[in-house]
Chains A and B, each alone.
Chain A
Amino acid sequence: DAKTTQPNSMESNEEEPVHLPCNHSTISGTDYIHWYRQLPSQGPEYVIHGLTSNVNNRMASLAIAEDRKSSTLILHRATLRDAAVYYCSPNEKLTFGTGTRLTIIP
Chain B
Amino acid sequence: EAGVVQSPRYKIIEKKQPVAFWCNPISGHNTLYWYRQNLGQGPELLIRYENEEAVDDSQLPKDRFSAERLKGVDSTLKIQPAELGDSAVYLCASSSWTGGPSSYNEQFFGPGTRLTVL
- Residues on A facing B (Cβ under 8 Å): 36, 41-46, 49, 85, 87, 92-99
Contact = CB atoms under 8 A, between A and B. Distances in A.
Interface residues of B, number: 20
Given A49-B104, A94-B107, A43 B93 contact: yes
Nearest to B92: A43
Contacts of B107: 36, 44, 46, 94
Interface string B98-112: 000000111111111
Contacts of A49: 104
Task: Label chain B's interface by main secondary structure.
Answer: loop
Interface stretch (B11-19, B40-48, B63-71, B76-84): B40-48
Interface of B: 4, 35, 40-45, 56, 91, 93, 104-112
A49 B42 CA distance: 18
Given A43-B4, A43-B93, A92-B105, A98 B111 contact: no
